[in-house]
């Protein structure tokens, strides 16, 4: 691998770091200024402009000792020094400096003329007061355009480190120059402090990824551009990342074509770039494949599988970058199983992509018999295609190319037909010949009686893949770090039995020897995967938000007598008690039991499965997002992802009400959770409110959800299907005002979120009435009957056709309600109290009349909660 | 405001408010009319009679045309009850208003359902036997 690529990639990432330094109060002394301003700064009307470039240079010089030593060594790689590569982007003189300059411009989506105008831009006096605005606020799908200029935004992000709380926008307030500077200074100081502590400085490939995380944490809320009329909603981090990726691709392109000249680099009408898109297919089958023992180990297994999907996606991107001679910084968009990489458009790269494709999918075919696969497509592009008015059609092409691959992902002629070795691969000496976890692969002698496979008192068989997934599921909850090695590296302690893509070995408990392995080139990745906490995100190594929240047993679970509820056999009870081991993931059966009220022991033991995703994301990206460029797209998709990958796990792990909710998946634009059914209902509603805050209450960005309530003994695949159907219903919802989607489905009823909030409150009243014996269960069933009649009545009246005598029945529900009311309501109450109660109860008729069928939701919630 | 059975009689579209808002309104009106009259037991007598005719028609023991005169006799019975001060003018009006709209079996069906709804509400307004 050409190590210069690291120099270029980091220069791209660092090119605007001077903006941070300048705003953060970095001290630029006069002598340095006099000696270097002329070198780095362009001028306009005889005045220097773009001071930040000078700050970039000065800052790099200042932190020399904190960078990997190679970066400041004169004889490492290319002629240009790292410092000049990063800092000469507004006054480029050499071909390599031009590469960074062109990448900078391209990532901002400027046309050449706009760029020159921008280049004259003089920093306003109060530039430190500018805070990052939110793209969400500007999304607009309605025809009557809201004109957004800088001043009519109501929200912005706090200038601060990335954390589960700071990712939410706050109301925009005027800030004094002094406070604005102070905030920047504090942030900058913390950045320097953390930079000093960054690990693996001597292994630049690891360090680069670590630094990327650090920059993400500190530069995500710094606006990239503050001059002129630019809307400051692109973060410095995303702009820098995009610049880095484009610069890297350009460098390899021109090197490969032997055209590293300024003239060639400036050409915009050549297809210099290759957008590589990877997409994971078969996620459902991957997660929900089942055998006889699946349900018993399901919590661990599912967690392992879902993490494995993230891992496979990450490592596919890594392998492509590796094979193409690019750094991990070339991956620019990542969401929900899809990644986009910017590479140079050369034959060598296309061959490399094909090699990776072959290797990865052969492995997947061998292990998953074609159920899971990764589509890898590529699309060539000119620099000019990234400009604001062309980027939509570029992404349309990328999506189309990716779709095409999806439909032709197997070469049937080569890969189709019977897996001829399948039957002969079974070993009849094993206790279970077919893996009891996936029900597909043969069990493997190598993992027979592996201690991870112990269920109750039995040890057992499994295939290596399922064993590895259980290995992940077991270790995720105990470990904050994951190390990825070359498969032949020497590793002490447990690791995968079947290295991913026959290349990547995974280990959780690596201590000591890391540095040695890193020096030997055996350690490829070292990630922190702990869930972000309020106080911030871990800062000493690379952070990946891949680990959802999983409920684990605590010591008090041993004293929980809810496990004895219901008509369980003694054996089952014993089994449930035996499962409780501190810090081990809770089984779904245990999670279901947490739906029972701890005090009264009332309630139904059942699981709630919540599936939710953002409505019309494609339309939002295409029509809602204005002034598109690659940096803005990156900021938008990353910010969206953080709601699911940072906020959701944070909320689950930090709020005691939700500690029993289990993440199957949360990231990109969707989430998939399992928990005690009643907690899931509350969480769904809360999450929608949080999402509203997250997107500045923009009515054009909405989320829909489907909830299914099931017994824990049902196969997880079925639960997933039910919740999927429920979500589908929400997506088809049309409100009275004509608005589509933005809805939730529960107990077979689909309602808008507003209605959902109102009827949940009704549910609280019903529960209170049951508790005070104002009504009984029979009454609830009557209410349920009336609500279904009211629903029929509503449908009938909307029909405006013949109403036949057979259909009349439902028209009488109000009268029946009254009749029933007098006969049953408030029987055991007298006098004034009775009057008061009757008045309260009378409200029910109004509710049923208003909400008709939707009343099923609070009624059944109450029935299940008080059973 | 009378008691309209149909919204569109020709196309058999029933008045959608008949069993709810109108039944409620009429029940309230009859209830308010007099504390010592219109006792549920008195009203019930009329309802029971209507139910009896309904079951005769439904069991096809008698043709609607044959029963109709008996149904119309309820008007006379109401006048008699009014004379005895068991009911008030309001209830008698209600009965005659309804009966005047009954020309065929469908009309009678509507009346039975309306009376049932009326009774539901009436029970609500006057729960006790007074």
* Mean pLDDT rounded to a whole number for chain A: 89
The A-side interface with B (CB below 8 A) comprises 796-797, 800-805, 808, 811-819, 821-823
B14, A803: Cβ pair inside 8 Å? yes
Q: How far is CA A194 from the centre of its chain?
A: 25
Q: What pLDDT, on a 0 to 100 scale, did the predictor assign at position A299?
A: 80
Q: What pLDDT, on a 0 to 100 scale, did the predictor assign at position A147?
A: 67
Q: How far is CA A218 from the centre of its chain?
A: 19
Higher pLDDT, A626 or A330: A330
- A801 contacts on B by Cβ (under 8 Å): 13
Q: State the residue for tokens 């610069």.
A: A247
Which are the contacts of A524, defined by CB distance < 8 A and separation ≥ 6? Answer: A318, A484, A485, A486, A504
Condensed to tens digits (0 to 9), the pLDDT of residues A781-818 reads: 999 999 999 999 888 878 766 667 777 888 889 888 88
Question: Are A483 and A477 within 8 A, CB to CB?
Answer: no
Of A125-134, A463-472, A496-505, A576-585, the least confident: A576-585
B120, A818: Cβ pair inside 8 Å? yes
A822, B121: Cβ pair inside 8 Å? no
Nearest to A448 by CA among A459, A439, A435, A461: A461
For the cut 50, the answer to whether the pLDDT of residue A38 exceeds it is: yes
Q: State the residue for tokens 């952070």.
A: A543
Q: What pLDDT, on a 0 to 100 scale, did the predictor assign at position A62?
A: 93
Q: What pLDDT, on a 0 to 100 scale, did the predictor assign at position A117?
A: 61
Nearest-Cα residue of chain B relative to residue A797: B16
Q: Which of A795, A808, A848 to mutate to test the interface with B (most CBs of B within 10 A)?
A: A808
CA distance B115 to B69: 19
Higher pLDDT, A476 or A706: A706
- A826 contacts on B by Cβ (under 8 Å): none
Q: What pLDDT, on a 0 to 100 scale, did the predictor assign at position B130?
A: 47
pLDDT bucket at A532, cuts 50 / 70 / 90: confident
Nearest-Cα residue of chain A relative to residue B25: A815
Q: What pLDDT, on a 0 to 100 scale, did the predictor assign at position A855?
A: 95
The sign one gets for the Cα dihedral A740, A746, A748, A754 is: negative
CA distance A590 to A580: 9
Smallest CA–CA distance, residue A851 to chain B, in Å, is 17
Nearest to A598 by CA among A565, A575, A550, A552: A565
Of A360-374, A623-637, A822-836, the least confident: A822-836
Q: What is the pTM assigned to this prediction?
A: 0.91
Q: What pLDDT, on a 0 to 100 scale, did the predictor assign at position A800?
A: 63
B117, A815: Cβ pair inside 8 Å? yes
Q: What pLDDT, on a 0 to 100 scale, did the predictor assign at position A120?
A: 62
Higher pLDDT, A437 or A456: A437
* Closest CB from B13, B24, B121 relative to A803: B13
Which are the contacts of A608, defined by CB distance < 8 A and separation ≥ 6? Answer: A595, A674, A675, A676, A677, A678, A679, A680, A681, A707, A708, A709
For the cut 60, the answer to whether the pLDDT of residue A190 exceeds it is: yes
A819, B16: Cβ pair inside 8 Å? no
Q: What pLDDT, on a 0 to 100 scale, did the predictor assign at position B60?
A: 75
List A704's β-bridge partners, or say none.
A613
Nearest-Cα residue of chain B relative to residue A817: B120
Q: How far is CA A219 from the centre of its chain?
A: 19
Q: State the residue for tokens 């997409």.
A: A279
The two tokens of residue A334 are 């990542």
Q: What pLDDT, on a 0 to 100 scale, did the predictor assign at position A345?
A: 97
B24, A815: Cβ pair inside 8 Å? yes
The two tokens of residue A554 are 């605590």
For the cut 50, the answer to whether the pLDDT of residue A348 exceeds it is: yes
β pairing state of A273-281 and A338-344: antiparallel
pLDDT bucket at A712, cuts 50 / 70 / 90: confident
The B-side interface with A (CB below 8 A) comprises 11-14, 16, 18-20, 23-24, 106, 109-110, 113, 116-121, 123-124, 127
CA atoms within 13 A on the CB side of A527: 19
Nearest-Cα residue of chain B relative to residue A790: B20
Homologous superfamily assigned to A552-746: Reverse transcriptase/Diguanylate cyclase domain (3.30.70.270)
Domain ranges in chain A are 3-197+258-263, 422-543, 552-746, 759-866
Query: What average pLDDT score do residues A312-337 get?
Result: 92
**DSSP3 helix / strand / coil % (chain A, rounded to 5):** 50, 10, 35
Give chain B's residues under pLDDT 70.
1, 61-62, 128-130
* Closest CB from A814, A816, A823 relative to B24: A814
Q: What percent of chain B has pLDDT over 90?
A: 60
* Closest CB from A803, A805, A815 relative to B20: A815
pLDDT bucket at A121, cuts 50 / 70 / 90: low
Higher pLDDT, A671 or A519: A671
β pairing state of A542-543 and A523-528: parallel
List A703's β-bridge partners, or say none.
A614
A808, B106: Cβ pair inside 8 Å? no
pLDDT bucket at A740, cuts 50 / 70 / 90: very high
* Closest CB from A802, A816, A817 relative to B13: A802
Higher pLDDT, A438 or A414: A438
pLDDT bucket at A295, cuts 50 / 70 / 90: low
- A823 contacts on B by Cβ (under 8 Å): 123
Smallest CA–CA distance, residue A821 to chain B, in Å, is 7
Query: What average pLDDT score do residues A565-590 get?
Result: 81
The two tokens of residue A619 are 């339309």
Smallest CA–CA distance, residue A828 to chain B, in Å, is 15
Condensed to tens digits (0 to 9), the pLDDT of residues A768-781 reads: 999 988 888 888 99
For the cut 70, the answer to whether the pLDDT of residue A457 exceeds it is: no
pLDDT bucket at A843, cuts 50 / 70 / 90: confident
Condensed to tens digits (0 to 9), the pLDDT of residues A459-499 reads: 688 899 999 999 998 888 888 899 999 998 888 788 899 99
Phi, psi of A275 (to 5 degrees): -90, 115
CA distance A603 to A337: 38
Question: Are A342 and A332 within 8 A, CB to CB?
Answer: yes
Q: What pLDDT, on a 0 to 100 scale, did the predictor assign at position B123?
A: 86
- A792 contacts on B by Cβ (under 8 Å): none
Compute the count of residue pairs across chains A and B with CB atoms less than 8 Å apart. 69
Question: Are A67 and A201 within 8 A, CB to CB?
Answer: yes
DSSP conformational letter for A343:
E
pLDDT bucket at A388, cuts 50 / 70 / 90: confident
Which are the contacts of A301, defined by CB distance < 8 A and separation ≥ 6? Answer: A294, A437, A466, A469, A470, A473
Nearest-Cα residue of chain A relative to residue B11: A802
Nearest-Cα residue of chain B relative to residue A809: B113
Q: What pLDDT, on a 0 to 100 scale, did the predictor assign at position A70?
A: 87
Q: What pLDDT, on a 0 to 100 scale, did the predictor assign at position A274?
A: 97
Q: Buried b vs exposed e over B44-62: b needs ≥16 C-beta within 10 Å?
A: eebbeebeebbebbeeeee
Query: What average pLDDT score do residues A87-94 get?
Result: 93
C-alpha dihedral over A163, A165, A170, A174, to 10 degrees? Answer: -60
Q: What pLDDT, on a 0 to 100 scale, did the predictor assign at position A474?
A: 87
Q: What pLDDT, on a 0 to 100 scale, did the predictor assign at position A243?
A: 96
B106, A796: Cβ pair inside 8 Å? no
- A825 contacts on B by Cβ (under 8 Å): none
For the cut 70, the answer to whether the pLDDT of residue A262 exceeds it is: yes
Smallest CA–CA distance, residue A778 to chain B, in Å, is 19
Of A37-51, A232-246, A598-612, A639-653, the least confident: A37-51
For the cut 50, the answer to whether the pLDDT of residue A264 exceeds it is: yes
B123, A823: Cβ pair inside 8 Å? yes
List A211's β-bridge partners, or say none.
none
pLDDT bucket at A752, cuts 50 / 70 / 90: very high
Q: What pLDDT, on a 0 to 100 scale, did the predictor assign at position A43?
A: 86
- A805 contacts on B by Cβ (under 8 Å): 106, 109, 113
């Amino acid at each position: 691998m050409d190590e210069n690529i690291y120099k270029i990639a980091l220069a791209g990432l660092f090119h605007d770091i001077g903006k941070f330094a300048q705003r953060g109060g970095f001290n630029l002394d006069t002598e340095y200024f006099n000696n270097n301003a002329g070198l780095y700064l362009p001028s306009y009307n005889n005045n220097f402009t773009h001071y930040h470039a000078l700050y970039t240079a000065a800052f790099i010089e200042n932190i020399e000792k904190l960078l990997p030593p190679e970066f400041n060594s004169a004889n490492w790689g290319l002629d240009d020094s790292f410092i000049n590569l990063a800092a000469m982007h507004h006054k480029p003189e050499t071909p390599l400096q031009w590469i960074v300059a062109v990448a900078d411009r391209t990532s901002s989506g400027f046309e050449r003329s706009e760029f020159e105008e921008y280049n004259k831009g003089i920093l306003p006096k109060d530039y430190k007061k500018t805070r990052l605005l939110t793209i969400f606020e500007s999304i607009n799908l309605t025809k009557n355009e809201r004109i957004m200029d800088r001043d009519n935004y109501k929200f912005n992000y706090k200038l601060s480190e990335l954390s589960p709380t700071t990712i939410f926008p706050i109301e925009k307030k005027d800030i004094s120059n002094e406070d604005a500077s102070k905030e920047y200074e504090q942030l900058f100081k913390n950045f320097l402090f953390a930079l000093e502590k960054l690990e693996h400085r001597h292994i630049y490939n690891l360090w680069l990824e670590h630094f990327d995380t650090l920059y993400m944490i500190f530069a995500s809320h710094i606006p990239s551009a503050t001059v002129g009329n630019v809307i400051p909603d692109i973060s410095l981090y995303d702009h820098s990342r995009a610049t880095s990726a484009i610069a890297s691709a350009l460098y390899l392109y021109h090197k490969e074509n032997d055209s590293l000249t300024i003239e060639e680099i400036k050409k915009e009408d050549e297809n210099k770039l290759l957008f590589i898109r990877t997409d994971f297919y078969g996620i459902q089958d991957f997660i929900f494949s089942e055998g006889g023992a699946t349900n018993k180990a399901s919590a661990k297994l599912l967690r392992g599988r879902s993490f494995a999907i993230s891992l496979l996606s990450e490592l596919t991107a890594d392998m492509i970058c590796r094979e193409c001679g690019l750094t991990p910084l070339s991956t620019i968009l990542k969401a929900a199983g899809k990644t986009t990489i910017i590479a140079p458009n050369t034959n060598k790269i296309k061959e490399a992509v094909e090699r990776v494709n072959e290797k990865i999918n052969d492995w997947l075919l061998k292990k998953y018999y074609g159920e899971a696969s990764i589509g890898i497509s590529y699309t060539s592009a000119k620099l000019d295609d990234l400009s604001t008015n062309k980027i939509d059609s570029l992404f349309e092409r990328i999506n189309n190319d990716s779709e095409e691959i999806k439909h032709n992902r197997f070469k049937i002629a080569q890969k189709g037909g019977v897996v001829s070795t399948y039957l002969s691969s079974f070993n009849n000496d094993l206790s279970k010949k077919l893996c009891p976890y996936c029900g597909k692969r043969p069990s493997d002698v190598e993992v027979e009686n592996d201690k991870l496979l112990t269920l109750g008192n039995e040890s057992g068989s499994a295939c290596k893949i399922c064993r590895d997934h259980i290995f992940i599921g077991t270790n995720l909850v105990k470990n904050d770090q994951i190390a990825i090695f070359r498969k032949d590296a020497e590793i002490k302690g447990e690791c995968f039995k079947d290295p991913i893509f026959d290349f990547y070995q995974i280990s959780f408990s690596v201590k000591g020897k890391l540095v040695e392995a890193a020096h030997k080139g055996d350690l490829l990745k070292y990630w922190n995967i702990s869930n972000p906490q309020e106080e911030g995100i871990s800062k000493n190594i690379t952070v990946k938000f891949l680990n959802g929240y999983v409920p684990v047993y605590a010591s008090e679970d041993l004293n929980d007598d809810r496990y004895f509820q219901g008509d369980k056999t003694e054996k089952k009870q014993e089994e449930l008690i035996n499962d409780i081991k501190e810090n081990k993931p809770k089984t779904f059966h245990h999670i279901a039991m947490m739906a029972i009220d701890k005090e009264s022991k009332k309630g139904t033991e059942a699981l709630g499965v919540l599936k939710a995703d953002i409505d019309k994301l494609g339309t939002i990206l295409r029509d809602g997002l204005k002034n598109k460029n690659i940096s803005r797209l990156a900021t938008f998709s990353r910010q969206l992802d953080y709601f699911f990958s940072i906020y959701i796990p944070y909320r689950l792990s930090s709020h005691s009400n939700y500690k029993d909710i289990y993440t199957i998946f949360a990231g990109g634009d969707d989430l998939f959770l399992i928990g005690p059914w009643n907690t899931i209902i509350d969480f769904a509603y809360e999450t929608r409110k949080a999402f509203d805050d997250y997107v500045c209450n923009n009515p054009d960005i909405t989320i829909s959800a489907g909830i299914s309530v099931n017994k824990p003994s049902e196969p997880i695949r079925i639960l997933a299907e039910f919740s999927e159907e429920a979500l589908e219903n929400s997506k088809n919802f049309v409100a009275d005002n004509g608005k589509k989607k933005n809805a939730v489905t529960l107990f077979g009823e689909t309602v808008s979120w507003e209605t959902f909030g109102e009827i949940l409150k009704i549910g609280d009243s019903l529960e209170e009435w049951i508790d005070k014996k104002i009504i009984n269960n029979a009454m609830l069933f009557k209410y349920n009957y009336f609500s279904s009649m009211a629903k029929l009545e509503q449908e009938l009246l909307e029909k405006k056709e013949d109403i036949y005598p057979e259909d009349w029945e439902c028209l009488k529900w109000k009268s029946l309600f009254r009749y029933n009311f007098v006969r049953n309501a408030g029987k055991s109450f007298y006098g004034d109290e009775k009057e008061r109660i009757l008045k309260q109860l009378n409200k029910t008729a109004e509710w049923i009349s208003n909400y008709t069928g939707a009343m099923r939701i609070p009624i059944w919630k109450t029935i299940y909660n008080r059973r | 405001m009378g008691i309209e059975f149909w919204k569109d009689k020709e196309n058999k579209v029933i008045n959608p408010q008949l069993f709810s808002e109108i039944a409620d309104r009429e029940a309230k009106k009859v209830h308010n009319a007099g504390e010592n009259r219109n006792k549920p037991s008195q009203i019930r007598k009329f309802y029971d009679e209507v139910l009896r005719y309904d079951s005769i028609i439904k069991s096809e023991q008698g043709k609607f045309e044959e029963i109709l005169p008996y149904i119309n006799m309820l008007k006379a019975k109401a006048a008699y009850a009014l004379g005895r001060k068991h009911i008030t003018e309001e209830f008698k009006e209600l009965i005659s208003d309804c009966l005047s709209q009954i020309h065929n079996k469908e009309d009678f069906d509507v009346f039975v359902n309306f009376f049932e709804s009326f009774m539901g509400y009436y029970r609500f307004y006057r729960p006790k036997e007074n």
